[in-house]
Amino acid sequence: MTVNVVGKRVKRVDAVAKVTGKAKYTDDFMERDMLVGKILRSPYAHAIVKKIDVSKAKALPGVEAVLTYKDVPDNKYATAGHPYSLDPKHRDREDRTILTKKARFVGDEIAAVVATDDLTAEKALKLIDVEYEVLEPVLTPEDALKENAPLIHEEYDNNIISDFGYQIGDVEESFKESDYIFEDEFETSIVQHCHLENHISYAYVDADDRIVIVSSTQIPHICRRIVGQALGIPWGRIRVIKPYIGGGFGNKQDVCLEPLNAALTLAVGGRPVKIDLSREECMIATRTRHAFKYKFKTGVSKDGKLIATHITAISNNGAYASHGHSIAMSAGTKFRPLYSFKSIKFDPVTVYTNLPAAGAMRAYGVPQIKFALESHMENIARKLNMDPIEFRRRNLLGEGYVDPLNGNKVLSCGIHECIAKGKELINWDEKKEKYKNQTGIKRRGLGMACFSYASGTHPVGLELAGARIVLNQDGSVQLQIGATEIGQGSDTVFAQMVAEVLGIPVDMVHVVSTQDTDISPFDTGAYASRQTYVTGMAVKKAALEIKEKILNFVWGMTDIPAEALDIEDANIVYKHSGEVVMPLSKVAMQTYYDTVFAKPITSDTSNNARVNAMSFGVTFAEVEVDIKTGKIEVVEIFNVHDSGKIINPQLAEGQVHGGVSMGIGYALSEEMLFDEKTGKPLNNNLLDYKLPTIMDTPDIGVAFVETHDPTGPFGNKSLGEPPAISPAPAIRNAVLDATGVAFDRIPMTPQRVFEKFKEAKLV
Amino acid sequence: MLKKISFTVNGKEVSLEVNPGETLLEVLRKRLGYTGVKKGCAVGECGACTVLIDGTPTDSCIYLAVWADGKEIITIEGIAEDGKLSKVQEAFVEEGAVQCGFCTPGLVLTTTAMVQSGKKYTREEIKRELSGHFCRCTGYQNIIKAVEKSLED
pLDDT at B153 exceeding the cut of 90: no
- What does the DSSP 8-state code read for residue A535? I
User: Could you read off the pLDDT of A428-483 as tens digits, one per residue?
Assistant: 999 999 999 999 999 999 999 999 999 999 999 999 999 999 999 999 999 999 99
Q: Which residues pair with A112 in a beta bridge?
A: A39, A67
Asked if B11 has any chain A CB less than 8 Å from its own CB, the reply is no
Q: Does the structure show a pLDDT above 50 at A45?
A: yes
H or E, element range at A347: strand A343-352
Residues B25 and B7: their CA atoms lie apart, in Å, by 14
Among B100, B108, B141, the residue with its CB nearest the CB of A247 is: B100
Q: pLDDT, tens digit, for every residue of A206-215?
A: 999 999 999 9
A31 — pLDDT class (breaks 50, 70, 90): confident
A222 contacts A252 by C-beta, under 8 angstroms: no
Which of A18, A218, A693 is most worth mutating to test chain B (most B CB atoms within 10 A of its CB)? A18
Residue A228: the pLDDT is: 98
3-state secondary structure of A281: helix
For the stretch B57-108, pLDDT in tens is 999 999 999 999 999 999 999 999 888 999 999 999 999 999 999 999 999 9
A404 secondary structure, DSSP code: T
Contact flag B136-A197 (C-beta cutoff 8 Å)? no
**Containing H/E element for B76?**
none
Give mean pLDDT, residues A260-285.
98
State the Cα–Cα distance between residues B7 and B73, nearest whole angstrom: 7
**Mean pLDDT in residue range B115-119:** 97
Query: What single-letter DSSP state applies at residue A694?
Result: G
- Phi and psi, residue A632, nearest 5°: -110, 125
> What is the four-CA torsion angle of A22, A26, A27, A28, rounded to 10 degrees?
30
Contact A228, A210 (CB under 8 A): no
CA separation (Å) from B83 to B12, B80, B89?
A: 17, 6, 12
Put simply, whether B99 touches A (Cβ < 8 Å) is yes
Contacts with B37 from chain A: Cβ below 8 Å: 21
Report the distance separating Cα A597 and Cα A616, nearest Å: 51
**Do the domains B3-78 and B87-151 sit in the same CATH topology, yes or no?**
no
Residue from B94, B137, B142 whose CB has the most chain A CBs within 10 Å, to mutate: B137
CATH number of A138-189+284-395: 3.30.365.10
Interface of B with A in 13-32 (CB under 8 A): 29
Q: Do B111 and B88 meet the contact criterion of CB atoms below 8 Å apart?
A: yes
Minimum-distance CB partner of A21 among B36, B41, B45: B36
Please say if the pLDDT value at position A3 is more than 90: no
Q: Does domain B3-78 have CATH number 3.10.20.30?
A: yes
- Taking residues A647-659, report their average pLDDT: 98
Q: How far is B70 from chain A (nearest CA, A)?
A: 24
pLDDT at residue A741 above 90?
A: yes
Q: Model confidence at A193, in pLDDT bands (50, 70, 90)?
A: very high
Beta pairing class for A464-471 and A442-453: unpaired
Specify the CATH superfamily of domain B87-151: [2Fe-2S]-binding domain (1.10.150.120)
Mean pLDDT across A161-187: 98
**Fold: same for A15-22+464-608 and A406-455+613-763:** yes
pLDDT of residue A4: 84
Query: Which residues, 6 or more positions from A13, have their beta carbon under 8 angstroms from its beta carbon?
Result: A491, A492, A495, A506, A509, A511, A513
**Nearest chain B residue to A487, by CA:** B100
3-state SS, residue A37:
strand
DSSP A98: S
Q: What is the mean pLDDT of the segment spanning A627-644?
A: 98
For all residues of chain B together, what is the average pLDDT? Answer: 97
User: What letter represents residue B23's amino acid?
Assistant: T
**Beta carbons within 8 Å of A304's beta carbon, 6+ residues apart:** A381, A384, A386, A390, A391, A394, A395
User: A15-22+464-608 domain in CATH 3.40.50.12780?
Assistant: no
Identify the residue among B89, B102, B142 best suited for mutation to test binding to A, counting A beta carbons within 10 A and taking the highest: B102
Q: How many whole angstroms separate alpha carbon A264 and alpha carbon A274?
A: 9
What's the pLDDT score for residue A235?
A: 98
Which residues neighbour A86 within 8 Å (Cβ) at sequence distance 6 or greater?
none
Largest CA distance in chain A: 89
> Which one of B93, B130, B134 has the shortest CB-CB distance to A11?
B93
Question: Other C-beta atoms within 10 Å of A179: how many?
Answer: 13
B18 SS3 class: strand
Asked whether B29 and B35 are in contact (CB, 8 A), the reply is: yes
A657, A641 Cβ separation under 8 angstroms: no
pLDDT for the residue numbered A1: 44
Checking if the pLDDT of A691 tops 90, the result is: yes
Beta strand ranges found along A355-498 (DSSP E)? 442-453, 464-471, 477-481
Put simply, the answer to whether B98 touches A19 (Cβ < 8 Å) is yes
- Name the residue of chain B whose CA is nearest to A34's CA: B30
- pLDDT tens digits, residue range A526-561? 999 999 999 999 999 999 999 999 999 999 999 999
**What is the assigned CATH class of domain A31-135+199-276?**
alpha beta
* Res A2 pLDDT > 60: no
Cα separations in angstroms, B135 against A13, A217, B36: 20, 19, 16
Report the run of H or E that residue B39 belongs to, with start and end: none
Contact B151, B115 (CB under 8 A): yes
In the predicted model, is pLDDT for residue A658 greater than 70?
A: yes
> Per CATH, is A406-455+613-763 categorized as 3.30.365.10?
yes
Name the residue ranges covered by the structural domains of chain B. Answer: 3-78, 87-151
Question: Which of A437, A580, A606 has its CA nearest to residue A520?
Answer: A606
Mean pLDDT calculated for residue range A294-318? 98
Q: pLDDT (tens digit, 9 = 90+) per residue, A115-138?
A: 999 999 999 999 999 999 999 999
CB-based contacts of A74, cutoff 8 Å, min separation 6: A97
Domain layout of chain A by residue ranges: 15-22+464-608, 31-135+199-276, 138-189+284-395, 406-455+613-763
For residues A628 and A333, give the distance between their C-alpha atoms in angstroms, rounded to a whole number: 40
The ipTM estimated for the assembled molecules is: 0.98
Mutate which: B79, B140, B149, vs A, most A CBs within 10 A = B140
% of chain A with per-residue pLDDT over 70? 100
Nearest alpha-carbon partner for A582 in A471, A502, A475, A476 = A475
Residues 6+ apart with CB under 8 A from A315: A141, A290, A291, A292, A325, A327, A328, A348, A349, A350, A351, A358, A365
- 3-state SS assignment for residue B3: strand
B41 to A279: CB separation less than 8 angstroms, yes or no: yes
Helix (H) or strand (E) holding A562: none
- Contact by Cβ (8 Å): A660, A728: no
Cβ–Cβ gap A196/B144 under 8 Å: no
What does the pLDDT look like over A372-384, one tens digit per residue? 999 999 999 999 9
Which residues of chain B neighbour A636 with C-beta distances below 8 Å?
Answer: none
Sign of the dihedral through C-alpha A657, A661, A667, A670 = negative
Mean pLDDT of chain A: 97
- Rounded Cα gap, residues A486 and A275, in angstroms: 20
Rounded to the nearest angstrom, the minimum Cα separation between A22 and chain B is 6
Confidence class for position B47, pLDDT limits 50, 70, 90: very high
Other C-beta atoms closer than 10 Å to the C-beta of A579 total 9
- b/e sequence A486-515, b meaning 16+ C-beta within 10 Å: bbbbbbbbbbbbbbbbbbbebebbbbebbb
| Confidence grade of residue A717 (pLDDT, cut at 50, 70, 90) | very high
| Degrees, nearest 5: CA angle A23-A24-A30 | 150
**Average pLDDT over every residue of A582-599:** 98
Give the DSSP H or E segment for B121: none
Residue in chain B nearest A197 by alpha carbon: B40
- Percent of chain A's residues with pLDDT above 90: 99
